[in-house]
Structure 1
Amino acid sequence: MTTLVLVAHGTRSPRGVEMIAALAEQVSARVDTVHVAFVDVLGPSPAEVLRRCPGETVVVPAFLASGFHVHNDVPREVAESGHDAIVVTDAMGPDPRLARVMVERLRAAGWRPGDAVVLAAAGSSDHRALLDVRRAAGMLADRVGQRVEIGYVATGSPKVSEVIERVRRQGAKRVFVASYLLAHGLFQQRLDDAGADGVADPLGVHPDVVGLLVDRFRAGARLLDQAALRNGTMSSSRPD
């Protein structure tokens, strides 16, 4: 049996914590064992969880862009755990399936083709994460068939409110925010005050999000199988 450790950022929002738990529960319906860990704000930490995970383990970073947490915090936590049968997968995003979810969330918020769209991301000081956000915006633009602007909620510029003001000056009659956030929390709350005509819900618990996490797990499990074959052993069967 291979264990999945889902590593999220962490939030003080009870609603956000509940959403991560609900997401893990839905993933667990398709994966044998799922544990949740957080790199910031609350625990348990990935190292704490990994120390309790016997056997082969796949760590899936539940991040929409690969910045400091993915490139630094997660590897450090893995090293501190001392776990020696582990694979860390790619982060969740960017991915075309997430763009599909964002379009669905936008439509639910009242967006119509022709309305301006601003993709709102948390932001990062890591250029790799910013590149991922630009790729995500490009995927969303392909879906909506028009240009998508980018604004940041926390780290980085321009801020979401500044982008909304700019596109209004450029003639947009209605402006909608596509939330490139995983769960409800402080950042999502800030979007409500950014001055848009509508704000989409975060990605949250959605079949495409669940499927993406399961696919990341299975890719990691295949790598563990390949390592076992090279070492002359074979691990237990994987979930279909």
Structure 2
Amino acid sequence: MKPPLLLIGQGSNDDADSAEFGRFVHRLRCRLDQRAADVSGGYLERATPRLSESVASLVARGHHRLVALPLSLSRVGEEWPAALEAEARRHPTLMYDYGRPLGPDPRVLALLAERLKDAATEMPRLRPLEAVGGRYRQLRAVDTPPDYQPGHVEPGETAVVLVGEGSTDPAANAEVHRVSRLFWETHAYDFMTVETAFVSVTPPGVPGGLERCRRLGAKRVIVVPYLLFAGGVLERVWAQALAYGAGHPDLDIRCAEVIGDCDTLADVVIDRYEEALQLA
């Protein structure tokens, strides 16, 4: 039997993010069951199960070697390997191999291109967010008449804003800028530009990215979240885009979906798992 795969998430207080993380762990468990490998998932903070609980469960089931993989698109901080070192001290018989983050894998970029294509499809424009039960509904509903038809906009008149979470680590922020350039040259070369923005912590924010596109002459801007799963961070992206759009009604602003739980993303994770085993 192969060593189990342990997916590590940052963790948040958002139930939607945790639910999609859980569904993705289940997808991988079903996929790797054919290869006789167990799959578990744990968070560094805030959400459950915590990393320590998942490791303890694997050890209790007789596993003393595992492959740990940070489920992250960007460069991870020192707290990730430090957390694993702490678990190794807590369980002296435990050995682990550390896999690479997902990063701008070509398949991840292809998934972003699919989300961009879906958002670029001619459709009615955004309407204000509607609060329901303390959360916000889908952003891309309409506030226009049923017979409204948006004017045709060429790709060369359309700009893209790739939005990362934002970090205090300059290298992590630089990586998002690198992804924007890779995405433009490999999947979005017909568009006017691909600009970079961040949800928080570091500039430019989503409004700053949209403003740059407007000043470049874009008639339409598509916001593409560089995020794995839906949740509170995605809602903040949508809310910032909508707030900017309210002051610029002549600019057609679209918001794409996150990468999400899917088989292609699972393929990337499984390849990282096999790579870590080969390098061990």
Distance (Å, rounded) in 1 between the aligned partners of 2:52 and 2:19: 22
Percent of residue pairs bearing the same amino acid type? 28
Q: Note the 1:17-32 alignment, pairs <5 A.
A: 17-31=18-32, 32=37
Aligned to 2:129: none
SS of residue in 1 equivalent to 2:120 = coil
Residue 63 of structure 1: how far off its partner (Å) = 0.7
Aligned to 1:102: 112
Distance (Å, rounded) in 2 between the aligned partners of 1:40 and 1:183: 17
Residue 43 of structure 1: how far off its partner (Å) = 2.6
Aligned to 1:144: 188
Aligned to 2:43: 38
The number of residues matched between the two structures is: 221
Q: Does the aligned pair in 2 maintain the 1:96–1:139 contact within 8 Å?
A: no
Q: Does the aligned pair in 2 maintain the 1:13–1:184 contact within 8 Å?
A: no
The worse-fitting range, judged by mean Cα deviation, of 4-13 and 44-53 is 44-53
Residue 63 in structure 1 maps to residue 68 in structure 2: no
For 1:119, the aligned partner's letter is: L
Q: Which runs of 5+ in 1 are unaligned?
A: 225-240
Pairwise CA RMSD: 1.7
For 1:4, the aligned partner's letter is: L
- Which residue of 217, 223, 231 corresponds with 2:273? 217
Residue 211 of structure 1: how far off its partner (Å) = 0.5
For 1:110, the aligned partner's letter is: A
Aligned to 2:5: 4
Distance (Å, rounded) in 2 between the aligned partners of 1:40 and 1:75: 14
Q: Does the aligned pair in 1 maintain the 2:20–2:260 contact within 8 Å?
A: yes
The worse-fitting range, judged by mean Cα deviation, of 31-40 and 192-201 is 192-201
Q: TM-score, normalised by structure 1?
A: 0.86
Aligned to 1:180: 226
Residue 113 in structure 1 maps to residue 169 in structure 2: no
Residue 208 of structure 1: how far off its partner (Å) = 1.9
Higher relative CO (Cα under 8 Å, sequence separation at least 6) belongs to 1
Q: TM-score, normalised by structure 2?
A: 0.74
Q: Deviations over 1:88-121 (max 9, x none)?
A: 1111112221111111011112257331000000
Q: Deviations over 1:51-100 (max 9, x none)?
A: 3322220011011101xxx2312111111112542011111112221111
Q: Deviations over 1:13-37 (max 9, x none)?
A: 3222121111111112222211111
Distance (Å, rounded) in 1 between the aligned partners of 2:23 and 2:118: 21
Regions of 4+ moved over 3 Å: none
Distance (Å, rounded) in 2 between the aligned partners of 1:135 and 1:100: 16
Q: Does the aligned pair in 1 maintain the 2:160–2:221 contact within 8 Å?
A: yes
Q: Which runs of 5+ in 2 are unaligned?
A: 122-153, 246-252
Residue 78 in structure 1 maps to residue 79 in structure 2: no
For 1:10, the aligned partner's letter is: G
SS of residue in 1 equivalent to 2:31 = coil
Q: Does the aligned pair in 2 maintain the 1:4–1:58 contact within 8 Å?
A: yes
Aligned to 1:205: 261
Q: Does the aligned pair in 2 maintain the 1:113–1:144 contact within 8 Å?
A: no
Q: Does the aligned pair in 2 maintain the 1:153–1:160 contact within 8 Å?
A: yes
Q: Does the aligned pair in 1 maintain the 2:17–2:232 contact within 8 Å?
A: no
Distance (Å, rounded) in 1 between the aligned partners of 2:41 and 2:54: 8
Distance (Å, rounded) in 2 between the aligned partners of 1:57 and 1:223: 13
Distance (Å, rounded) in 2 between the aligned partners of 1:219 and 1:29: 20
Q: Deviations over 1:189-235 (max 9, x none)?
A: 012121461111111112221111111111112233xxxxxxxxxxx
For 1:27, the aligned partner's letter is: L
The worse-fitting range, judged by mean Cα deviation, of 195-204 and 150-159 is 195-204
